Amino acid sequence: MKNLFSNLRGDLFGGLTSGIVALPLALAFGVSSGLGPSAGLYGAIFISFFAAIFGGTNTQISGPTAPMTAVSMVVIAGLIAVNDGDIEKALPAILIVFLVAGIMQIGLGLIGIGKYIKYIPYPVVSGFMTAIGVIILVTQILPAVGYYPKEDAEYVDQFKPKAEELLLTNILKEETGEGILVLEDFEETIKRSENITEADILKEAQTIAKSEASGVIGAFKVMGRALSNINWLELCLALATIFIIYGFKRITTVIPSALVALVVVSGVAYGFGLEYRPIEEIPSGFPTPNLEIFTQFSLSAVTPYIFTALTLALLGSIDSLLTSVVADNMTKTKHSPNKELVGQGIGNSIAAVFGGIPGAGATIRTVVNINAGGKTKLSGMIAGLVLLIVMMSLAPIASQIPAAVLAGILVTVGIGVMDYKGLRAISTLPKDIKLGPLKLSSEVLIMLVVLVLSSVWNLVYAVGIGLIIASLMFMKKIGDLTAERSDVKSLEKEKAWTDEKDFPDSLREEVFIKHLKGPLFFGTTTDFQRLANQIPLTASVAVLRLEKMQYLDQSGLYVMEDVIKELSKNGVVVLFVKILKQPRYMMERIDIIPDLIPEEHIFPNFDACIKWIKTNVKK
């Protein structure tokens, strides 16, 4: 407790400043997620406070971030669609997924996975971050120009036939579940279908329209309609916000430009009585826990999103630990990665219970905290409390913020979150692979695959595919490099080692000596398989010198077995010289030793092997 208050003044300024910086972003990320601005605020409050208490980075400021919000959008949109477009009905399942993600993150910290996060390849992270920027930028164009698909009557009308079909399908499903659907009598079906009103059809059509226009592909589908139905007031508000955010930074960075844009543009719009579209109402008072996530828990509703929850947990971990590294570099301290994951998991879990969206360590807010004087965990706790006080006292005022202002803020976030360093490297990285006539960089290929798939398909699957491709390419490269440096490869003539120079000339045609220098694994098995073919017909003994073969994997193990069997079939006796511990252990597991290579054919050194040869091989 003494250490907690050792830097009270600095932590107070750091927490206050970073909390103010977090306010517009929390509101914007909440709106972007689909759960509304209050969900963004709740996430910022609880994650910041509890991740600071239990985390392993003293100066970390946590809350909703662009990557976490983008993945959260997938969960929210999917579960809302499953629940007939009713967000209230879908909310318990959404929050359960977020809660599971938080618990998974705690688990990752407890089992010590934090130190392994650094092994995720940079091209995967780069492609993902750029895709996040593309998704946010493209999807925010619609609210920035004041276009909302579900409010476009002409666009919605085209989905009414599909809406009627879905409503009828739902009736049939209900009757099937109740056991009253029979081919002989559709009387109940007809009766229920007659209760479908035009309002029901319109609502369902609006839900479909909103779903069809979601994501990057959906936004492009309706972009033409949006640009031909621009609400010029909304567009002006968004452009003014963007202009102030970029322009004010040139004047000073002491005051957050996003906050200045939020206050100035919202103040002008409200003060002049402009007829703009405000954000959803933010409830005032202390947040209350959403106990429905426990009372209405349904495993079947959440199961399809378990992998997405794991992705949220991993993404939040990567995001947070990268920020922790930045904090370490600035403060010359050392964070505890596993403790940080536990803290982030606790923060996300508690935020989910109170209806907040998940988040992670936020780099910009953490840098602001450190520059303002924050040094201990108290700064992160204060940042959360600042947001809580703002929400409890200023919620009615915040509810008057124009939606276009938050769209403008998100446009700048989308532009800023892209990995320009990775994009600039596209033309300079070496082209190390060939796809037909094309020569490409494997790093660039991975980044582009993740970028394109994340943008137009699915963030979760794209990252998984990117990791698989990166892993396969990494194994291929390491295999090739190791094979080049090893003497596992078959050669017509091998240079004799020092202890082989006195080997009797009279035995050279009878005895073939093979050196294995380096691991025998999947990358070198093809070369090793040619061993049986390179042995002269005059040889009756093959000596395999294994003292420099440090490692034998399963692929190498079975190739070794096949080669020995082939040699034995051709009447060649195989001798091992100085087999190391790991390869011997592997060979004993499938009985190469002693079934194929008896103990008397295994020698501790080459001199002992020569003695056996002189005694047992005819000259």
Q: Name the average pLDDT for the chain.
A: 84
Q: How confident is the model at residue 490 (pLDDT cuts 50, 70, 90)?
A: very low
Contacts of 12 (CB under 8 A, 6+ apart): 378, 379, 382
pLDDT, position 70:
84
Is the pLDDT at 480 greater than 70, yes or no?
no
pLDDT, position 237:
95
Proportion of the chain above pLDDT 70, given as a percent: 92
Tell me, what amino acid is at 230?
A: I
Compute CA 240 distance to the chain's CA centroid, rounded to the nearest angstrom.
33
pLDDT, position 483:
57
Strand 541-548 to 511-517 pairing: parallel
Residue 393: CB atoms within 10 Å: 11
pLDDT, position 184:
53
Q: Which of 606, 617, 612, 603 is nearest to 496 (CA)?
A: 606
Strand 62-63 to 360-361 pairing: antiparallel
Q: Tokens 């989308």: give the residue.
A: 414
Q: What is the mean pLDDT of residues 587-594?
A: 89
In tens, the pLDDT along 406-423 reads 889 888 888 887 888 888
Is the pLDDT at 485 greater than 80, yes or no?
no
Q: How confident is the model at residue 102 (pLDDT cuts 50, 70, 90)?
A: very high
What is the DSSP annotation of 573-590? EEEEES--HHHHHHHHHT
Q: Give yes or no for a cis peptide into 594 (omega within 30° of 0).
A: yes
Is the pLDDT at 107 greater than 60, yes or no?
yes
pLDDT, position 414:
85
pLDDT, position 459:
72
Is the pLDDT at 488 greater than 70, yes or no?
no
Is 386 in contact with 20 (CB distance < 8 Å)? Answer: yes
Is 362 in contact with 48 (CB distance < 8 Å)? Answer: no
Is the pLDDT at 2 greater than 60, yes or no?
no
Q: How confident is the model at residue 244 (pLDDT cuts 50, 70, 90)?
A: very high
- What six digits make up the tokens of 409? 């803020």
Is 380 in contact with 52 (CB distance < 8 Å)? Answer: yes
Question: Which of the pair, 401 or 179, is modelled with greater confidence?
Answer: 401
Q: How far apart are CA 455 and CA 457, in angstroms?
A: 6
Stated pTM of the model: 0.73
In tens, the pLDDT along 501-546 reads 778 777 878 888 888 877 887 766 777 777 667 777 778 899 898 8
Least confident of 90-99, 183-192, 442-451: 183-192
